Amino acid sequence: MLSNLLIVLPIFALILAGWIARRSNALGPTATREVNRLVVYLALPALLFDIMAKASLSEIWQPGFILAFALGCAVVFALTLWIRMRQGCHLADAAIDGLNASYANTGFLGFPLVLAVLGGSGMGPTLVATIVTVCILFALAIVLIESGLRSEARRRDIARKTLLALAKNPLLVAPALGAIVMASGWPLPEAIERFLTLLGGAASPCALVALGLFLAGNAGQRPAAGRNIEALLIGLKLVAQPAVTWLVAAPILGLPAIATHTAVLLAALPTGTGPFMLAEFYGREALLTGRVVLATTVLSVVTLSLYMAVAQ
């Protein structure tokens, strides 16, 4: 448990840094949105492009692992979407909640945790899980959000406006361009690689600082959705997603023990900052998302430790 705590400690430190900066007025009330826009328009697109451009087909083509991890994400995302829509939730908010329950923090926590637990052999599957999460699942949520926000327009205009918005969205354009570079086999010039590394490296730290800024600015408030929904999303993320992933990987697909263990370990990670960035960027209820990110990160120290104790 101590090793898990040491891995997630930098996350708490960055959130705390943002919280202190806002409470001390070192950063003003508009800082949350501006820092978040930096992530959405610059840092995260650079990171997504870099991940896709540097990936190799031989490294990421692991059909069984991809299917197990992707289905774990998809089932929980779809279930959450269905539950929230049945409760009368707007499609855009339901899509963000779907991410809250299925968007594992593979990029920031996955690599150091898997490296510590499984060694270098787990780096390939972790890259695959990161691509599935931050590119495919993220893109699906953006499509649903854009569709939901334009559902009040005339029907013949919905598709055109949605496609136009998606085509201009840097979080979709960047990984698509990166995939083209990967498929072409063209090496990136060293200067561009360095640029992408520097800019993309700011994505997670800035997103976590923005979360701390937001929580400090909304201290004492409660999410409109209520505690039951918050608890539901936390349970779906930390319990349901790894359980579904194990069910697909082991009994259904019969994957080797190491592949199953890696998939479940990555699925059991807490919620990443992606849902919070989208909630803040699109002006939806970010408080619920911020609390889910924080709560799952704290509780994952216990749940991950329990899982690893049982899996050994």
Q: Where are the alpha helices (DSSP H) in 55-137?
A: 57-60, 63-86, 91-102, 111-118, 123-131
pLDDT tens sequence across 95-113: 999 999 999 988 777 877 8
Centre a 10 Å sphere on the Cβ of residue 161 and count the other Cβ atoms it contains: 15
Instruction: List the structure tokens of 262.
Output: 């890696």
Q: Is the pLDDT of residue 7 over 60?
A: yes
Supply the pLDDT for residue 264: 95
12 vs 84: which has the higher pLDDT = 84
- Residue 217: phi and psi, rounded to 5, are -75, -15
Domain around 209: 2-311
The number of domains in the chain is 1
Please calculate the CA angle 32-272-87 and round it to the nearest 5 degrees: 90
Contact 278, 99 (CB under 8 A): yes
Instruction: List the structure tokens of 28.
Output: 């003003």
pLDDT tens sequence across 132-170: 888 788 888 988 988 888 765 555 565 666 667 667 778
Contact 203, 44 (CB under 8 A): yes
3-state secondary structure of 256: coil
User: What's the predicted TM-score (pTM) here?
Assistant: 0.81
The CATH number covering residue 231 comes to 1.20.1530.20
Q: Rounded CA gap, 29 and 276, in Å?
A: 17
Supply the pLDDT for residue 265: 93
- Find all residues with CB under 8 Å of 122, minimum gap 6, and list them: 114, 115, 262
Q: Rounded CA gap, 175 and 105, in Å?
A: 18
**pLDDT, average across residues 114-128:** 79
